[in-house]
A and B are shown apart, each in its own frame.
Chain A
Amino acid sequence: MTKLSKKDVEHIAKLSKLKLSESEKEKFASQLSGVIEYVEQLDEVDTEGVEPTSQVTGLENIYREDEVKRSSIKHEEIEKNAPGFDGESFIVPGVFNK
């Protein structure tokens, strides 16, 4: 049975770009452990040689003409939702500290 430690939760929170308080770390460690414990029943199933299924339609390689289609979305409409927008680009702070 896998139990997620506080350290495990800190790691996946980091991967998830989330910040957790100390009490949240404990709460999530216990709740996520419960779910992981539940899904580990999959170990009972013999899957030797079974192909994984990622989608069920059987469709593959959907092609279309390689034409440029102008979006009908106007820049002003994008600007309304964007926290930082200069009319052409989304403005964000630097990736590294100066």
Chain B
Amino acid sequence: MENLYKLTLKEASDKLEKGEITSLELTNSVLQRIEEVEPKVEAFITVTKELAIKQAEESDKRRGEGKTLSPVDGIPIAVKDLYCTKGVRTTAASKILDDFVPSFESTATKKLLDAGAVMVGKTNLDQFAMGSSTETSAYKQTKNPWDLTRIPGGSSGGSAAAVAADMCTAALGTDTGGSIRQPANLCNIVGLKPTYGRVSRYGVMAMASSLDCIGPMTKTVEDASILLQILAGKDEKDATTLPDPVPDYSKTLKKDIKGIKIGIPKEFFGEGMNSESEKIVKDAIEKLKEQGAEIKTISLPSIKYALAVYYVLMPAEVASNLARYDGVRYGHSKIKDNKSDVKDLDDVYVTSRTEGFGDEAKRRIMLGNYVLSSGYYDAYYKKAQQVRTIVKEEFEKEFEEVDLMVTPVSPGPAFKLGEKTDDPLTMYLEDIHTVPINPAGVPAISIPAGFTKDNLPVGMQIIGPQLGEEKIFQVARAFEKATDFHHQRPSL
């Protein structure tokens, strides 16, 4: 059978179920696709070819015995290289973890593997998930499959590019301030940041623990719902996971959207928005209206401060989370590299960290220690936490009036490689529409919404209240059914 790599997760799952294809055929097709286009796209840090073939064979054997585990049994999945995968090198795209091979499995990958998924590889990212373009990776520069001179977005740029280029059937990403949604948006795929606490982060390297979420990056909304079904739920190993029961996410996918109230926060439009991208999102909103959604303009007046809140709280949490990389238990270390030359323990810490971390990690660690340091704590950290309360309450208040909100995902389409690397603040401003969602802890999805005249993809963001994933899927799926943007693939 030809080109199995093009299949969506749902299509592949159905064909496996009907016996039309085997997981080995599907997996081999995806692996061959990786061999063909990876030299151009550079989405992977590690391709786990042998492991994938072994897992595919096991899946086919299970199926033959009538013991298929789940809808993802036998499906080739790519995993952001921030998830610890037992026995498979995990770098966070940083030299400080260059030779790190985890001795345990993250809950998310364990759940997928236990459900029979096949892992084809670990994808590139901005170092420690810090960036919006995958340019801070210490290993390679992932390109946008739609235009190889442009960035794929970030930090989950490798996962987004891999899905868009059909180098996996679906992928996992992480999202602290937009790292799933922004690359999904720039690569014409679906990316979901679930409600904070809906999916366990155990075993995923922490960046900013009060903001970090992990979630699916897929070819369709339905595929995202299938993966969330497996990933969601309470985990004893992550105390922030919510005890609320996990609903059947397939239920709302078939429903129409008549009468659903959608708020359009005016602060996300106008100044700073690329006019073509803005038009695409506005047209998408019209489409939702045609399908019976009630559209209402709303206001989130404090949203303009959300990015500032984020750039205080996130670095503060980074500074403490990245304190663990100290050259003692794992990772790049002065102890290992130059035994005779070691002065004292402090020398191990300082040298290992200085050599191992890239500039963006250093910037954020220092920024975090600055805002937390004596004399500045109240002025920056406490102040930001207070403004966080105001931002969160504005979302809560508006969600009493509307079911969902729709906004742009990024100020514009994918920018050129190297265009924003010299000025961190310009890069940070790329996340202005995705960042506010994380301090509020609410779920949001990015789905394909159109193309610019240069054929660059533009997505739209659908935001829901806490645990509003079902309604998000409902509206996202209805939009998908009425359009064909998600069927478009880049020519490589």
A residues at B contact (CB < 8 Å): 4, 8-9, 11-13, 15-20, 28, 31-32, 34-36, 38-45, 47, 50-57, 59, 62, 64, 72-74, 77-78, 80-84, 90-97
Contacts and interface: CB of A to CB of B under 8 A. Distances in A.
Contacts of B331: 81
B366 A38 contact: no
B365 A47 contact: no
Interface string B367-385: 1011101000000101111
Contacts of A41: 305, 308
A93 B308 contact: no
Given A35-B428, A42-B309, 20 more contacts: A12-B366, A12-B370, A16-B365, A17-B350, A18-B350, A19-B350, A31-B423, A32-B363, A32-B366, A35-B425, A38-B428, A52-B382, A52-B388, A55-B240, A59-B243, A64-B236, A72-B104, A80-B101, A90-B329, A93-B344
B306 to A, nearest CB: 10
Nearest to B86: A77
B242 interface: yes
Given A16-B319, A50-B390, A81-B329, A94 B345 contact: yes
Interface in B337-351: 342-351
A92 B348 CA distance: 8
Q: Could you say which interface size class chain B belongs to? A: 35 or more
B interface SS class:
helix
Contacts of A47: 383, 386-387, 390
Interface in B405-430: 423-425, 428
Interface string B296-329: 0000001001011101100000010001001111
B3 interface: no
B311 A38 contact: yes
A95 B328 CA distance: 13
Contacts of B236: 64
B239 A62 contact: yes
Contacts of B196: 56-57
Given A39-B380, A42-B312, A83-B333, A28 B362 contact: yes
22 contacts: A4-B370, A12-B373, A16-B362, A17-B323, A17-B353, A20-B354, A28-B366, A31-B363, A35-B367, A35-B425, A36-B370, A38-B425, A39-B371, A42-B309, A42-B312, A50-B390, A53-B385, A56-B440, A57-B441, A73-B104, A80-B103, A95-B345
